[in-house]
């Protein structure tokens, strides 16, 4: 069974007619703390053709607001918290994401890596690194960055 550590999306009229870049994912969920809920929801929706299933629900203390997007086997939860700050501000000596402990990227397995890569390229998504073959895993892979710089890696044959 294929798994997904993370991914996100939503539909806009200009993107609906295009082929969904990520298909045949067999379940995945990710939650991200974001600085701008609307901008991040728009980015994930337009990039991955996800639909908003819960929009701007507020916590009881009114300090956080969440939007949940879903589609093609993926669920993405975005949360904007009033007291949150970027990691680089909270820990300024950490200039690169892999210099911290914890999750530093997410990934998804797709049926057609080339089609996914080509569709994301056509959507002018920032590529973190191009397709290459990982001999140890016996898969091909590439990665993108979301609108906040988070890494999302794709795996396929």
Q: What is the CATH number of the domain that holds 97?
A: 3.10.180.10
Where does residue 96 rank: exposed (0-12), middle (13-18), buried (19+ CB within 10 A)? exposed
Q: What is the mean pLDDT of residues 133-153?
A: 92
Q: Does residue 19 form part of some domain?
A: yes
Q: Helices in 49-112 by DSSP H: which ranges? A: 87-90
Q: Would you state the structure tokens that stand for residue 95, as one six-digit string?
A: 């200039």
CB 22 within 8 A of CB 108: yes
Q: Does residue 1 form part of some domain?
A: no
Instruction: Report the mean per-residue pLDDT for the chain.
Output: 80
The 10s digit of each residue's pLDDT in 46-86 is 999 999 999 988 888 889 999 999 998 888 999 999 988 87
Q: Does residue 3 form part of some domain?
A: no
| Widest distance between CA atoms in the chain | 49
> How many helices, marked H, and strands, marked E, lie in the chain?
4, 8
Sign of the alpha-carbon dihedral angle for 64, 100, 144, 27 = negative
| pTM for this entry | 0.73
Residue 12's alpha-carbon distances to 9, 15, 97, 114, in angstroms, are 10, 5, 31, 23
Q: Does residue 63 form part of some domain?
A: yes
Structural domain of residue 41, as residue ranges? Answer: 13-156
The 10s digit of each residue's pLDDT in 17-29 is 467 776 655 667 8
Reported as a pLDDT band with limits 50, 70 and 90, residue 131 is very high
Please report the beta strands in 45-150, taking only residues with DSSP state E, as ranges in sequence order.
Answer: 51-58, 64-71, 74-81, 105-109, 127-134, 139-145
Write down the pLDDT at residue 26. Answer: 63
Q: What is the mean pLDDT of residues 146-153?
A: 90
User: How many domains does one find in the chain?
Assistant: 1
Q: Does residue 6 form part of some domain?
A: no
């Amino acid at each position: 069974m294929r798994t997904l550590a993370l991914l996100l999306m939503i539909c806009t009229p200009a993107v609906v007619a295009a082929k969904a870049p990520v298909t045949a994912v067999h379940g995945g969920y990710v939650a991200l703390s974001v600085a701008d809920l609307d901008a991040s929801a728009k980015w994930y929706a337009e990039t991955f053709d996800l639909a908003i299933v819960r929009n701007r629900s507020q916590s009881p203390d009114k300090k956080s607001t969440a939007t949940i997007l879903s589609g093609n086997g993926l669920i993405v939860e975005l949360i904007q918290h009033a007291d949150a700050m970027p990691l680089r501000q909270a820990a300024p000596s950490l200039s690169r994401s892999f210099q911290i402990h914890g999750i530093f990227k997410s990934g998804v397995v797709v049926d057609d890596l080339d089609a996914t890569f080509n569709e994301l390229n056509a959507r002018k998504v920032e590529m973190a690194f191009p397709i290459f073959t990982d001999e140890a895993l016996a898969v091909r892979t590439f990665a993108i960055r979301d609108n906040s710089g988070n890494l999302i890696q794709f795996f396929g044959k």
